Amino acid sequence: LEHKQEYLTDNFGRVHNYLRISLTEHCNLRCFYCMPEEGLAIRNKETYLTASEIIKTAKALTAIGVNKIRLTGGEPLIRKEFTEIATELSRLPIELALTTNGILVHKHIEFFKEIGLTNINISLDSLDPNKNLLITKRDYFKQIRDNIALLIENGIVPKLNVVVMRNINDNEIIDFIELTKLSSIDVRFIEFMPFNGNKWTLDKCFSFDEIIHAVENHYGRNHFKTIDDGPNSTSKNFRVKDYKGSFGIISSITKPFCEGCNRIRLTADGKLKNCLFSSSEFDMLTPLREGKEILPVLKNCLKNKKEVRAGILPKDKNIELLELNRSMISIGG
């Protein structure tokens, strides 16, 4: 295994043992920050990895040391073969995780328990139904809230992902943190990131420092504490005094966390990406279909990984360059 792990190691010594697989680039919501307004171009079915190709890739990467796989998308739960894929992956020696918008959770709750899928992130950007409709363009707020409650009733405490955007939901930070008072839920605030077609500008990004400032203003500087982040964490984590849950901030824009990065991404159309912000893509689908080796593609992908955020530094004025990248929905967040 040690010899094979070299395939997972980049030029900076980072070992990429965490694979995120996008099961589809389609979705039952239309979050404006995630997908272009006009939607995605319809593509031929053959351009997507089949269930068995996904499973084969996951097995090959697990055999060389990948030990965590997160299923994401688009919305992973709308993929027809979701249960087939998740069942197969749950048999591998990995931690299996899921990121979902929560809409279809009630259909799968027994299945999650059956295969032991308990690491679940749910995205919810507002606690106000009207605002939620504005952001997602679909009216599923109640269903999502009910499904969060359903998970908790079943002993699965999800993490909540909240993309914080100025003048949209930056006034709800405290309301979200208050959810952690009585429940061991973990809320993670994500800085708004630029992707193709999402009309990002730096001033719409509500930053790490601004979030901390809002928290200090409300709770007082001495009433919340940093908690341990773990070695590959992308979030800085905190807990308000005597609260059961915690909150964290994912600051990809103002404070990138690339030193500990251990992630590789596989898109629904079979491209490997070494960084969420990089527009470079490495084709796995063709070798898979031609029965060729896929590990050299992985090696090449990681050899090309830049030290910090695809080579775009925080001080760079042209952070807008990031917008050339695919939209989040087709990368797999």
Alpha carbon of residue 9 to chain centroid: 21
Residue 13 CB burial class (10 angstroms; 0-12, 13-18, ≥19): exposed
- Least separation in angstroms between residue 322's CB and ligand SAM is 10
Binder of residue 72, out of ligand SAM, ligand SF4, none (CB less than 5 to 8 A by kind): ligand SAM
Q: At what angle do helices 105-115 and 82-90 cross, to 10 degrees?
A: 20
In terms of CB distance, is 163 or 288 closer to ligand SAM?
Answer: 163
| Amino acid at residue number 318 | N
In Å, what is the CA distance from 324 to each residue of 76, 94, 137, 234? 24, 33, 24, 23
Q: Of 38, 42, 3, 309, nearest to 196 (Cα)?
A: 38
In sequence order, the 6+-apart residues with CB closer than 8 A to the CB of 328 are: 33, 34, 35, 193, 195, 198
Q: Which residue is nearest to ligand SAM (CB)?
A: 333
Taking the least distance from each CB to ligand SF4, the nearer of 179 and 329 is 329
Alpha-carbon distance of 74 to 64, in angstroms, equals 27
Which of ligand SAM, ligand SF4, none binds 144 (CB below 5-8 Å, type-dependent)? none
Q: Is residue 144 at the binding interface for ligand SF4, with CB under 6 A as the rule? A: no
- What count of other Cβ atoms lies within 10 Å of the Cβ of residue 101? 27
Instruction: Please say which residue, 243 or 277, places its beta carbon nearer to ligand SF4.
Output: 277
- Asked if 34 interacts with ligand SF4 (CB under 6 A), we say yes
Among 8, 21, 29, 253, binds ligand SF4 (CB under 6 A): 29
Which of ligand SF4, ligand SAM, none does 177 bind, CB closer than 5 to 8 A by kind? none
Q: Does 31 bind ligand SF4 (CB under 6 A)?
A: yes
246 binds ligand SF4, rule: CB under 6 A: no
Q: Which residues pair with 18 in a beta bridge?
A: 68, 263
Residue 35 binds which entry of ligand SAM, ligand SF4, none, CB below 5-8 Å type-dependent:
ligand SF4
User: 174 φ, ψ to 5°?
Assistant: -65, -40
> Interface residues with ligand SAM (CB under 6 A)?
27, 33-34, 72-73, 75, 99-101, 123, 161, 163, 190, 192-193, 195, 198, 328-329, 333
Short-list 158, 178, 148, 202, CA closest to 317: 202
Structure tokens at 155: 């002993």
Nearer to ligand SF4, 30 or 204 (CB): 30
Q: How far is the CB of 180 from ligand SAM (least distance, A)?
A: 18
Shortest spacing between CB 181 and ligand SAM, in angstroms: 23
Task: Determine the interface stretch with ligand SF4 among 25-33, 181-189, 230-238, 314-322 (rule: CB under 6 A).
Answer: 25-33
C-alpha torsion angle, residues 61, 63, 65, 67 (rounded to 10): 80
Residues of the shown chain interacting with ligand SF4 in the complex, contacts defined by CB under 6 A: 27, 29-31, 34-35, 73-75, 101, 123, 329
